[in-house]
Structures are given as structure tokens and as C-alpha cells.
Amino acid sequence: MSDDIRSIETVDESLMADHGNVGDAAFRGISTGSGGIIMVILAAVAVFLIAQAAPAITTGDPRYGNLWGYVAPYLFGTIWISFLALLIAVPVSVGIALYISHYAPKKLATPVAFVVDLLAAVPSIVFGLWGITTLAPMLVPAHQWLTEYLGFIPLFSGTASGTGRTMLTASLVLAIMVLPIITSLTREVFLRTPKLQEEASLALGATKWEMIRQVVLPFGRSGIVAASMLGLGRALGETMAVAMVLSGGRMISPRLLTSENPNTIAANIALGFAEADSGGVHRLIATGLVLFAITIVVNMAGRLITGGPRKESR
Amino acid sequence: MKYPRTSAALGCLIALMVTACGNKTPTDGLSGVVQGTGASSMKSAQEVWVAQFQTAHPGVTVNYSPDGSGAGRTAFADGAAAFAGSDRALEDAEMAAPSRQCAADTTPINLPVQISTIHIIFNIGGVGELTLSAEVLAKIFTGQITNWADPQIADVNPGIALPDLPITPVHRSDDSGTTESFTGALAQIAPATWTEGPVNRWPTRYGGEAAQGTSGVVAAVQQGNGTIGYADASGVTDAMASARYSPDGIATPVGPTAEAASAVVAASPRLEGRGINDWTLELDRTASGYPFILVSYAIACSRYADSHTGEIVGAYLSQVISEEGQNGAVPQAGNVPLSGELAASIREAAATIR
Amino acid sequence: MSTPANDPRAAAQHEAEIHLTAGQLPGYIGPAVFVVALVVSATVLGLLGAFGWIATVLLAVIGFLVAMFALSTAVEGRRRAVDRIARYLILGTFLLALAPLLSLLFKVASEGIIRFDVTYFTSTKRNVIGAGGGAAHAIIGTLITTGMATVFSVPVGLLTAIYLVEYGKGWMKRVITFLVDVMTGIPSIVAGLFAYSLISLMVGHGSKSGLAGALALSVLMIPYVVRNSEEIIRLVPDKLREASYGLGVSKWRTIVKVVLPTSVSGIVSGVVLAIARIIGETAPLLITMGFTASMTTNPLPTGGSNMVNPMTSLPVFVFYEYTRPGRPQEAFLDRAWTGALVLVLIVMVLNLIGRWVARKYAPKINR
């Protein structure tokens, strides 16, 4: 009873024009300010990183030369492992997304989607533990087989690692980690395929797969690219799983199956931060800045490809 | 700063249900919190020392973050750690720029508190014994000998059947004081083959498998076949095979034993020109026949600007270097207890900290 | 085709049932061929002396696909055959993704159950040598830092979302939308470096605390909150807003009294999912929070000594227990795995809660 009265009062109060205006201005100010905070935080991230990285950018290290000489191998490793991860993850993700959106029985689709989302939430350190204790030893025979029979392909050449802690294993772990991100986004896009077009295709006698190839995939292409870019962003920055699983060093080598692999920027930071002297910390932060710049570029590229800002319409 | 306090209170509330929330009444004069940061190779031993010390002084909390030697030295210099654990002593330049937490016009002191052996562990399908000479060892770790059947290995291992198996040398992927000690020894015993000098990050051009942390190296060696790696004693179990070392392959090979480590430490002179309480050792690795010794230091101020901190650090380090501390850590860290005259001198030095 | 074609699935099924120009393989043929392929592959590999589970299944799958393609081409025609193979491959990708998840969950559960006892949740590692002890301090540490990060992130994230949907226009809206996207892509280690630098500058070099960790987590959490809330707030039909304006209610009251209550379940669910995403972060906390074996409940850097007040979080605890074990090693590894199990359970429960809230309290918006 009293509640009702109060709510009536509230409405009355808000009907008073000037009161509403003050509140409106304040609320608009607060929410705009929050948007501003986002800008400030990002600017702060950039400024702090640049400030901390500056000494390393301006002065080189006698052992590595300038910063680019130092970071280049790690940059290669970062891009190479992310590329491999995407190469594995994108087709699989598209397959899962299609399964959920077009193949799975309705009752199964929701739990399946949940299971895939669960994969996304597993902490990276758990992936690292699993990769190093389960996946790597499991893949050792595959490594030996590949080097033995397919060793003539440069990627598979060299001596097979005895522990399985290689580029192949690490990129597989990364692929599993980015898979749910790509899946959930492409799934959304596939579900938005106009029903009429699908039905028209089927009515013309197309098989289901022909319908998907001619209607669903073209419709979802930009969505797949955008999702892949997001997955790429995650793969580029993944730290713990790579640091734990990959047997990495500072080198440029595309081989997949040997013990000697290029490390990634993020893993190198995690591995080197503890023992770094102050010059080393600056250098590591500078590499972090490079990584940050790359993720921004990837993000912008993704948006350019998908065409403008996402979902403008309400 | 309203939010942090709120959640702190919340945390405390949850904690209250679990244990008492801090502020235990001290049974003796000492109480407070002291931060130590440093070598991860000292983590196991520090856990024992901290436990012993906190049991004796329930009002005190000593936090040891095993962030790494470098992080420890940096934190000490920045005043972010009252003491550091480090796999090497401070260099002269670092001594000259002491931490601001130290009283004016005093220099920090370096106390060797943990002596351990670096084991050269291997896993060669069933081979239980292996002897390595300086040259062979350096050549294996620089990738110049790549197969266990190599005659150079067979020469120093008469009577042991080594399989035709590729060698996978395993090293640390992270920067580490253990790597610095190991490569320092290599540089001393085989300078012609190991040309990189002491480094804390393994030189990539020498190849081999990289693994994170002592445990990573141990796991990689155990998982693989034909693997060989180096790890400090805290991570090595008795079940693992460790190689013995003979400088030229002819002299009687020596394993990573406590006697060998003690002999190295006993033969190593103290670095001259530092304060009376500084016990930086100039390690003479060739003294005992087993050169892979890791000496870890506690780095502290001789006088703290804050006498309360000084009192706790002094008491803690005295505990560390005490017989109870040194022997108590053995089952956990596999260290070689410091004893005799040297231990007594370090004990005296630790007691002067305040 | 007399079936009402409003469901393509039903239509496809129907299409598969009728015989237009070609015959059709009976339903049991698929499983039957797969079993045969499995047996043949196992036998062949066994005879070659190269038997292994992965190799067997791999070979069987390839054999199955080839056999089915041949059979289907012969009986049903080429187009149907391609369709069939596509269907198998798509189902295969799903099973392929399921395999690592099951393997991971099994590994974590079987290793983690060993120390999944009361002591693990009620005691810390203070004064624990070797076996025993627990991770209460790490669990509390994770709850405090994640809680703080949530308290920092939700207001900023939610209000930004409100700005983007209700107020934003022009360049500022575009810029903020873009920056939120950029922020989503910040590598967690970079967020850690940022918090480390910030706290170093504000408090003192090398300062470590729960607060620093919470700051790093906030940087990671805010964009999730913005995105999730923005999407939900956008779903509130304009009809509701217009009805409210029509009664003369001001815009901010409309937002607070109509828009937010309508979308509250979605927002809560979004926040819970955002928490689930950051609660397992390791790398940024490794460099910002320090490490202790004792219970720390004060997240401020001033609570300890030397501007360092280390707080252990569960992922960092797992990391150190696993990578820097003492003796007996098993005791440390068991503690690490149990920590991993607890993390996975927390994340799972948060996910379930998020979904449950979203469904249970979803407003009935007519579509």
C-alpha cells in the first residue's frame, strides 16, 4: 500500500519538468563521463607503456642491437603460432557453428552451444597444465611419424621432439582456446541467415549442403572474418598456455615438430620478467607495446573487412 | 578508496569463518610483516625457514615471493623487499647504489645461505650411470655432439653400452640463476667450447629443448628419451639418474655430492674489499672435482632505516643460517647445510643486522 | 513437396525421404560402415605393428568417409554423396572439439579430486612444509581481487553501455565503440604491465598488492561488461521507452525505471559471464600481486611492509605449486591440480548462474 503511494509520488516528482532536466543532465553527464573513462584508460595504457618502454626504444642493447632486432624473432613466433592456430580453428569452428545452427536437433543445439562456451571459460593456466601433461606426450608418436614419412616437407623437417612440446602442440592448444570465440560469433551470424532464402534454395532442389554453400556461407562470410579476427586477437595475446607448453627460444624457424621453436612476445614477457634487470624490464615492456599495437591493427583490420562499426542499428 | 576497504572487510569476514583474521597476539616481542623477494631456486628452503621462524614468532609474517633473482635484487634496490634471495651476490655497481630502506651511509651485505648442487639429469632408455668430461658436456649442451653413440661419449664411459639415440639437451626457457651458475661453470671448465660466458637466458643458437622452471626441465627430461638437462637439487628426486663429472675423463668422476659442494665452498675465498659482515664468495668451482654448485645469497641492509624491520630481518636470517635452519631445509630443498667456521661467521654477520 | 516449408530442417528431412531420381541408402548403413572401418583399420594397423588409438580412429574415419562417398555416389548420386560427406564432416568437427574438452575435464577432475578435501578450503599454506595445507588464502585472494575488479568495472561498463545506446551519437560514440573493441583485444599480459607501471608510479617502484591485480583485471573486464550490457539494453523495445516518454517521464528516469529493470536479468548474466572470463587470469596477476603463503585480506599496498602487500590468487597459486614444487613433489602437484579443479568449477558454476539468471528472470518482451 505504502509502496504504491510512494511510486505515485515518484511519478509526480519526475513529471516536474525542471527536476527532470537537472537529473537528465546529471545522468547524461555521468554516462558520457563513463565513456570518457574508457578513453582515459586506454590512453593511460598506451602512455604508461610508452613511458616505461621509452628507454628501450631509444637505446639499444649491445647483445641484441636495437629494439626491432630484439623483438623480431618473437614477433615472428607470435604471428606464426596465431596463424597456425587460426588455420586449425576456423574450419572446425565454422563446422561446429553450422552443426549448432543447421544440423543439430533442436533439443541438442542449446546444450552443445553451452559446452562450447564452457571451453571459452576454462582458464588458460588449466589449458597449460593439460597441454603439458596430456596433449604433448600424446602427440609424441604423431611427431615421430610425421618427421619420418613427411620429413621432406620443410615444415615437418628436423628431429622430432621427444617431449611433444612443439609449435604443433602449442598451436593446437591455442586453436582449442580460440575455437569457442569463433564458434559463438559465427553461430550467431548463421542463425541470422534469412529463412526465405534458405527455403527458396531447398525448394529449387538443392541438397542441404548446396543450400549452405550457396546461401548460408556467403551470408556469413563477413561474420566469419570478423570472428576470426577476434580469435586472432586472443591468440596473439595468449600468455600462460604458450609459456608452459612451448619449448621456445629467440629464433625464426617455421618448423613445427622440433624442440627449437620461436617463442611469442607474450610468453617471452612472462618468462623473462622475473629475472630482468631494470633495462630488461623496459625492453620487455617495449615488446608488450609492440604486441598492443598489433592487436589494435588486427582489430581495425577486422572492422574494415566487416565494413564499419558493428551493429549500428537499434 | 571506499571500495577496497569494503571488500577488505568482506574478505576479512569470510576469512574469519575460516581462520582467525590476522592480528594474532605475539608471544614474544617480535611482530610485523616482512617482505622477501627472490630466486625461485630458494623457494623450497625459504618455505621451511619461514615456517620455522613464524612458528617461533607467531606474531611475525615473512612473505617470500619466488619471483626470481633479478626481480629480488630490483625489489631490494627499490625498497620493495626488505631482503632479497639471489643466485648471485650484488655486483659492485649495485653495492654502490644501496636501497633507500637502508640507513644512510651503510652498504648492503651478501650472505650465502643456501648451497646446492646442480644435477645433470639424463634419461637414456635404461642407462643408469653416465660420466661426462668438461669437453663432452660442453659439446652436448652446445649441440656439437648429437648422438649418445658418439665415440667421444663412449671414450669417457668405458663399459657402458650407450644406445644409438639422438641427444635432446633440455635447458630453462625462462631467465634463471640456475642457468647463470651452470653456464658460469661451463665457461670456467670448457672456455674453448662454451664461448658465451655466464648467461641467465640460454643462448638460442645452441639449440635444445626449452622448459619452464626447474620442474619443467625435470619433467621434460623424464618424459623424453635421450634427454639431458640441468636442475638444482630442490627439483631432483633420488629416483633420477644424475651424471658424474670428471674434468678430463681420466680423473675419478665425482657426482653431485654434499662433500663436493662443501669442498668448493670451503676452498672459495671471500671477496676482499667489502664490509666486515659481507660474505660474498669468489667461487672456485674447480676445487672439488664437481663444478656445478649453486650458491644462493640473502641480500639485506646492514642497518635498516626502520629499526623494526631490521630487527625482524636480522632474527630471520639468523634463523636461516642456524643449524636448525640449514639442516631443516635439507629434506625439502636438498641443499648442502653450511657448517663449521664459515657458518659461524655468517651467523655472526646476520646477528649484526638491525 | 507438400510439406509446409516453414522449417528448413523438416524440409531437408523430407527431401531426403522421398525417392525422386535415385535410390537411398538405409539409415543403418552409416553406423555399420563405421564399425567395419574401425575393425579393418585396427586389423591393418595391428598387422603392421603400428596399433595406436589415435591412429586407428583417424584411419577408420578416413576409410569411412571414402567408403560412404563411394557407396552413396553409386546408390544416391553424386550430389547426395557430397551432401552426406558434408554432414559427416560437420558432425565430425563437433566431436573433434568435444574430445579435448572431455580429456581436459577428465584430467583435471581425476588429478584434482585427490586434494579436494575440507582442509584445502579451510587452511592456508602458512607454516606448511611439504604435504598438507590448503589454498584458503588463494581462494580468498581471488574472491577479493575479482570482487574489486567487478566493483570497479560494472559502474563504468554499464554506464558506458547506457551512453552508447541511449545518448551517444556522432564521433564520440564511434570512437568509444571502437575503443571498447580495442580494449577487448588487450592481451592480458599487457594489462598486467599497465597495472604494474601505474602502481609503480603511484605508490612506489615494485609495489605489489591485490589492488594492482584488481586494476589489471578491471582493464580486462570493462569491455566485456560494456559489450554484454550494450547488447541487452539494445534489445529493450523502443515501444517501452516511447510509452514512458509519452507519460511525460524524463529520459534518465525512463532509463533507470524502465530500461534497466527490463534488462536487469541480461545485465546480471552478462556481468557474471564477464567475471567467469577474468577469474582465471594468471599472467597479469603474476607480475602485479606478489605471492604469500599466509592469509591476506587487505588489498591495499600499505597493509604489508615496504609498500608491498602480497596477495595470492588461485591461478597464481596453481602456477607456483606446479612450476616450483618442493618435496614431496606429488603434494605440490596435487595442490596445483585441485586448484585447477576449483577454478574450473567456479567458472562452470558462474556460467550456469549467468545462464539461469538470464533465462529465469528474462522479461517477457514480445518479439
Answer whether residue C4 shows pLDDT above 80. Answer: no
Size of the B and C interface in Cβ pairs below 8 Å? 164
Helix (H, G, I), strand (E, B) or coil at C125: coil
What digits encode the pLDDT tens for the residues C92-114? 888 888 888 889 999 999 999 99
What digits encode the pLDDT tens for the residues B98-148? 677 888 888 899 999 999 999 999 998 888 889 999 999 999 999 999 899
CA pair distance A233, A181, nearest whole angstrom: 11
Domain annotation covers residue A101: yes
Statement to judge: residues B121 and B256 lie in one domain: yes
Statement to judge: residues C72 and C181 lie in one domain: no
Statement to judge: residues A131 and A149 lie in one domain: yes
Domain annotation covers residue C365: no
Domain annotation covers residue A313: no
B74 contact residues in C (CB cutoff 8 A): 206
Residue C301 belongs to domain with CATH number: 1.10.3720.10
B61 contact residues in C (CB cutoff 8 A): 126, 292, 294
Paired strand residues for B147: B166
CB contact under 8 A, B71 and A249: no
Statement to judge: residues A199 and A286 lie in one domain: yes
CA pair distance A232, A230, nearest whole angstrom: 5
Å from B58 to nearest chain A CA?
Answer: 30
Residue C21 is predicted with a pLDDT of 55
Residue of B86, B167, B170, B173 to mutate, testing the A interface (most A Cβ within 10 Å of its Cβ): B173
Residue B223 is predicted with a pLDDT of 82
CA pair distance A104, B105, nearest whole angstrom: 76
Statement to judge: residues A78 and A217 lie in one domain: yes
Q: In this structure, is the dihedral angle defined by the CA atoms of residues A176, A181, A185 and A191, taken in order, positive or negative?
A: positive
Out of A300-304, B92-96, C149-153, the most confident range is C149-153
B212 touches chain C (CB under 8 A): yes
CA pair distance C159, C176, nearest whole angstrom: 12
Å from C331 to nearest chain A CA?
Answer: 16
Statement to judge: residues C217 and C356 lie in one domain: yes
CA pair distance C334, B97, nearest whole angstrom: 43
- Number of structural domains in chain A: 2
CB contact under 8 A, C344 and A96: no
Searching chain C, which residue's CA lies closest to the CA of residue A46? C194
Residue C335 is predicted with a pLDDT of 94
Residue A306 is predicted with a pLDDT of 66
A69 touches chain B (CB under 8 A): no
Statement to judge: residues C228 and C334 lie in one domain: yes
Residue C97 is predicted with a pLDDT of 84
Residue C355 is predicted with a pLDDT of 84
**pLDDT over 90 for what percent of chain B?**
32
CB contact under 8 A, B63 and C204: no
Domain annotation covers residue C122: yes
Statement to judge: residues C26 and C101 lie in one domain: yes
Residue B326 belongs to domain with CATH number: 3.40.190.10
Residue B23 is predicted with a pLDDT of 41
Distances (CA, A) of B116 to B287, B290, B322: 15, 12, 17
CA pair distance B275, B279, nearest whole angstrom: 9
B69 touches chain C (CB under 8 A): no
Higher pLDDT, A130 or A184: A130
Angle of helix C53-76 relative to helix C78-112, nearest 10 degrees, comes to 160
CA pair distance A169, B216, nearest whole angstrom: 16
Residue B94's pLDDT band, with cuts at 50, 70 and 90, is confident
Residue A175 is predicted with a pLDDT of 94
Residue A7 is predicted with a pLDDT of 46
B213 touches chain C (CB under 8 A): yes
The range of the structural domain enclosing residue B35 comes to: 8-115+297-350
Answer whether residue C16 shows pLDDT above 80. Answer: no
CA pair distance B51, A292, nearest whole angstrom: 42
Secondary structure (H, E, C), C35-81: HHHHHHHHHHHHHHCCCCHHHHHHHHHHHHHHHHHHHHHHHHCHHHH
Statement to judge: residues C250 and C209 lie in one domain: yes
Statement to judge: residues C187 and C250 lie in one domain: yes
Name the residue facing C310 among B15, B19, B65 (closest C-beta): B65
B66 contact residues in C (CB cutoff 8 A): 291, 320, 324
Statement to judge: residues C184 and C292 lie in one domain: yes
- The alpha carbon of B29 is separated from its chain's Cα centroid by a whole number of angstroms, namely 32
CB contact under 8 A, C186 and A41: no
Statement to judge: residues B142 and B101 lie in one domain: no
C300 contact residues in B (CB cutoff 8 A): 1, 4-5, 8
Searching chain A, which residue's CA lies closest to the CA of residue C350? A121
pTM (predicted TM-score): 0.87
CB contact under 8 A, A162 and B69: no
The range of the structural domain enclosing residue C281 comes to: 118-360
Statement to judge: residues A22 and A40 lie in one domain: yes
Average pLDDT, chain B: 85
What digits encode the pLDDT tens for the residues A66-91? 778 888 999 999 999 999 999 999 99
Domain boundary among C110, C141, C173: C110
Omega of the bond leading into A262 within 30 degrees of 0 (cis): no
Distances (CA, A) of A272 to A49, A254, C294: 17, 23, 26
Statement to judge: residues B20 and B59 lie in one domain: yes
Residue C143 is predicted with a pLDDT of 94
CB contact under 8 A, B204 and A260: yes
CA pair distance C163, C155, nearest whole angstrom: 12
Statement to judge: residues C341 and C275 lie in one domain: yes
Contact B214, B178 (CB under 8 A): yes
Lowest mean per-residue pLDDT among A86-90, A161-165, A192-196, B36-40 = A161-165
Statement to judge: residues B111 and B121 lie in one domain: no
The range of the structural domain enclosing residue A11 comes to: 1-58
CA pair distance A132, C318, nearest whole angstrom: 14
Name the residue facing C323 among B55, B67, B212 (closest C-beta): B212
Give the three cell numbers for residue C71. 557407396
A39 contact residues in C (CB cutoff 8 A): 175-176, 179
Answer whether residue B332 shows pLDDT above 50. Answer: yes
Name the residue facing A202 among C12, C91, C336 (closest C-beta): C12
What digits encode the pLDDT tens for the residues A219-268? 988 889 888 888 888 899 888 899 889 988 888 888 888 888 899 999 98
Mean pLDDT of B85-99: 85
Domain annotation covers residue A274: yes
Å from B88 to nearest chain A CA?
Answer: 12
Residue C304's pLDDT band, with cuts at 50, 70 and 90, is low
Residue A237 is predicted with a pLDDT of 87
Domain annotation covers residue C100: yes
Residue C62 is predicted with a pLDDT of 87
Å from C119 to nearest chain A CA?
Answer: 22
Domain boundary among C110, C143, C171: C110
Domain annotation covers residue C367: no
* ipTM value for the complex: 0.84
- Number of structural domains in chain B: 2
Residue C223 is predicted with a pLDDT of 92
Kind and range of the H or E run holding B230? strand B227-232
A164 contact residues in B (CB cutoff 8 A): 223
Name the residue facing A247 among B200, B201, B211 (closest C-beta): B211
Domain boundary among C91, C110, C129: C110
Mean pLDDT of A166-178: 93
Residue A184 belongs to domain with CATH number: 1.10.3720.10
Domain annotation covers residue A314: no
Name the residue facing C347 among A10, A19, A122 (closest C-beta): A122
Statement to judge: residues C28 and C151 lie in one domain: no
Answer whether residue C155 shows pLDDT above 90. Answer: yes
- DSSP secondary structure of A11-61: HHHHHSHHHHHHHHHHHHHHHHHHHHHHHHHHHHHHHHHHHHHHHHHHS-B
Answer whether residue C5 shows pLDDT above 70. Answer: no
Answer whether residue C70 shows pLDDT above 50. Answer: yes
CB contact under 8 A, B75 and C298: no
